[in-house]
Amino acid sequence: MTDIQLWTTVFIVLTFGLYIGIAWRSRVKETSGFYVAGHGIPAFANGAAVAADWMSAASFISMAGLVAFLGSDGSVYLMGWTGGFVLLALLLAPYLRKWGKFTVPEFVGDRYSELVRTLAAVAAVLISFTYIVGQMNGGGIVFSRFLNLNLTGGVMVAAAIIFVYSVLGGMKGITWTQVAQYTVLIIAYLIPAVAIAQQFTGLPIPQVTFGQILSELNALSAELGLNEYTAAFSERPMVDVFLVTLALMLGTAGLPHVIIRFYTTKTVRGARYSAFWALFFIALLYTTAPAIGAFTKFNLLDGVNGTAVAQLPDWVDNWAATGLVSVADGAETINSVSNDPAAGADLTVNNDILVLATPEIAGLPAPIVGLVAAGGMAAAMSTAAGLLLVISSSVSHDFYFRRIKKTASDSERLLVGRLAMTAAVIVAIVAGINPPAFVAEVVAFAFGLAAASFFPALVLGIFWKRCNASGAAAGIVAGLTLTITYMIYTLDVFGTEAHEHILGVSPEGIGSIGALVNVLVAVAVSKATAPPPAHLAELVESIRYPSVSREEEPAGSGERS
C-alpha cells in the first residue's frame, strides 16, 4: 500500500465512521422525523446542510475541471448554480416553508390537483435519479484511484455506504451528517488551494491571486493548440452560454432535494436565515473553484508540455490505471492535451480528475491527497443522501400513501420509502458505472429537467392565482417532453446516436427553453379553462402574505389537510 492509499484509507475510515455514527444516533421511527427532521433544525446548521446538499460531486470534483478546460466559458456553472440559489431563497423557500408540508409534490398537489401532484412526483424521481447518477460516478472515481479499485467496485462501495446512513437516519440523520460532511469537504477543498497559491504567488489567498498566472496560462494553452484560457465564447457559442446559465439558475431554484431542506427549520424566519448561511458557506467553495481550475490547468500544462512520454510525472501513470488519463498510441512527446477522447490529443485527461489530482500534480504531501479524497466522497455522499430521500418521499408519500393506500401507517410508509431507496440505489449503480457525460454535465441535465418542470409550476402557483390544475399539468408535460426528447437526441444514451446541437443549444441548456415552453403552455391553458376555486386563491394569499404571529408559529401548526 502506497502512502497515498494509506492516508486515503485513514481519512475515509475516520470520516465514514463519523457519518454513520451520526446517522445511528439520529435514527427515527416517525415520518416527520424521517422526511423533515421534525422541523427542528437550527438555521446555522441547516445552512451548512443546505450547502453540503448543494455542493455535490459536481461542485467538488468536476466543476473546477470544467472551468480548467472551458476557461471563461466554464463560468456558466459558477453563475448558474450561485444565481439560482438566490432565486430559490427569494422566490420560493420562505413561501414553501410557510406551507409546512413534507414534499414539493405535496404543495403542488394541494395548490393544483392530485393529477399535478402525481406528475410532480414523477418529475421529482426523474430529476433525483439523473442527479444521483453523477454522485455515484463521482464516488466511484474517488475509490478507483485512491483505494486501487476499478470504477465498478468504487461505485459499489460508495453506494453501499450512502444507502446505510440514508436508510438509518432519514432527514434528521442526513442533516446532521451533512453538517459534518460540509466541514470535511470545505477543509479538503481549501487546503490544497491555499498551498498552491502560496507556491505560485507567495500569498495564500487563491481567490485573489490566481489572476497573476493567466497570461502565462494563455501562452501555454496556445502552444499546445488549445484556445486561450480567458477568451470568451471560445468553447461554447454565446447563445448556449446564456441558455446553460439560465437553465442552471432556474433548475437550482426548482430542485426538490434542496427545497425540502427549508421544511426542516423551526420557523419561516429560520428558513430565511438558513438561506443566508447557506450562501456564505457556498461562497467559500465557489470563489475558490476558479482559482483551482487556473492553477491546476497551469500545473498540468507546464508539467507535460514538450515532455517525453517516458518522463511524464508519476500522477499520469497513477491516474492512467483508472482509465481516466490516457496517452495516445505511438506518441513519444506530449505536444497536445485535451479532455475530449475524440480530439486525438497526445494526452487525454478526464475533467473529473483535476481536483482530486491537484495535490499530486502540485507535489503536495500524501496526507493532503488523502484529505481531498475524503472531501470528494463527502460531497458525493451528502447530495446522494438528499436525493435518495426525495425519491423515498415521492414514492412512499406521494404515490403509495396518496394514491394507493391512504390508511397506511407510519411504519408501513417508512418501509415503502426504504424499499424505494434500495431500488433507486441499485439502478443508480448501473447508470453510475456508465454515465452519459462528465459528472458536472450529468448533474446539469438534472437541473435542466428541474427548470422545465418544477420552477414554472412553483412560481406560477405562488405568484399567479389564475394558474389552474389543467395549465400546470399541461405545462409540466410540455416542458419535460421537450427537454427529455432533446437530451436523448443530442446524447449517446439508450443506444441512440448522438446528433448535432440545433442552433448551438447544448443538452445542458435546453432546460431554459423547456421552462419557457412550460410557462407559455401553462398560461395559455389556464386562460382557456375555468379559473381555480376561490379557496385556492385564499390559500395563495395566505402563503404570500403571512402575518407576523403566524410567521413565528412552530412548523406544522399552519399545515393544511
Tell me the per-residue pLDDT of 244-257, one tens digit each, with 9 for 90 and over: 999 999 998 887 77
Cβ atoms of residues 348 and 65 within 8 Å = no
What domain range includes position 73? 3-428
Q: How confident is the model at residue 17 (pLDDT cuts 50, 70, 90)?
A: confident
Percentage above 90 pLDDT, the chain: 18
Residue 279 lies in a domain: yes
- The helix-helix angle for 289-304 and 214-223 (nearest 10°) equals 40
**For residue 496, pLDDT beyond 70:** no
Q: How much of the chain is helix, strand and coil, in % rounded to 5? A: 75, 0, 20
Amino acid at 326: S
All 3 cell numbers of residue 559?
399545515
For range 185-192, the mean pLDDT: 90
**For residue 102, pLDDT beyond 80:** no
Closest to 84 measured CA to CA, from 116, 50, 57: 50
| φ/ψ of residue 313, rounded to 5 | -60, 160
What's the half-sphere exposure (Cβ side, CA atoms, 13 Å) at 296? 34
| φ/ψ of residue 265, rounded to 5 | -80, 165
Residue 392 lies in a domain: yes
The C-alpha cell 443549444 sits at: 505
Reported as a single tens digit per residue, the pLDDT across 396-448 is 877 788 778 888 887 888 788 878 888 888 887 887 777 766 666 788 888 99
Query: Global pTM?
Result: 0.81
What is the rounded distance in angstroms from the CA atom of residue 350 to the CA atom of residue 62? 9
Residue 85 lies in a domain: yes
**For residue 548, pLDDT beyond 50:** no
Residue 326 lies in a domain: yes
Reported as a single tens digit per residue, the pLDDT across 208-256 is 888 888 888 898 888 877 788 888 888 889 999 999 999 999 998 887 7
Alpha-carbon distance values, 375 to 15, 161, 281, 511 (Å): 9, 15, 15, 30
**Residues near 434 by beta carbon (within 8 Å), at least 6 away in sequence:** none
Residue 538 lies in a domain: no
pLDDT value, residue 500: 85
What is the rounded distance in angstroms from the CA atom of residue 345 to the CA atom of residue 23? 46
Amino acid at 299: N
pLDDT value, residue 206: 92
Reported as a single tens digit per residue, the pLDDT across 355-367 is 888 888 888 888 9
What is the rounded distance in angstroms from the CA atom of residue 168 to the CA atom of residue 321? 35
Lowest mean pLDDT among 56-60, 76-80, 280-284: 56-60
Cβ atoms of residues 432 and 143 within 8 Å = no
Number of domains into which the chain is organized? 1
What is the rounded distance in angstroms from the CA atom of residue 229 to the CA atom of residue 111? 48
Residue 557 lies in a domain: no
For range 287-313, the mean pLDDT: 88
Q: In 287-313, where does DSSP find H-type helix? A: 289-304
CATH number for the domain that contains residue 156: 1.20.1730.10
Q: In 403-558, where does DSSP find H-type helix? A: 410-433, 439-463, 469-490, 510-528, 534-544, 548-551
**Residues near 177 by beta carbon (within 8 Å), at least 6 away in sequence:** 19, 22, 23, 26, 165, 169, 382, 385
Residue 560 lies in a domain: no
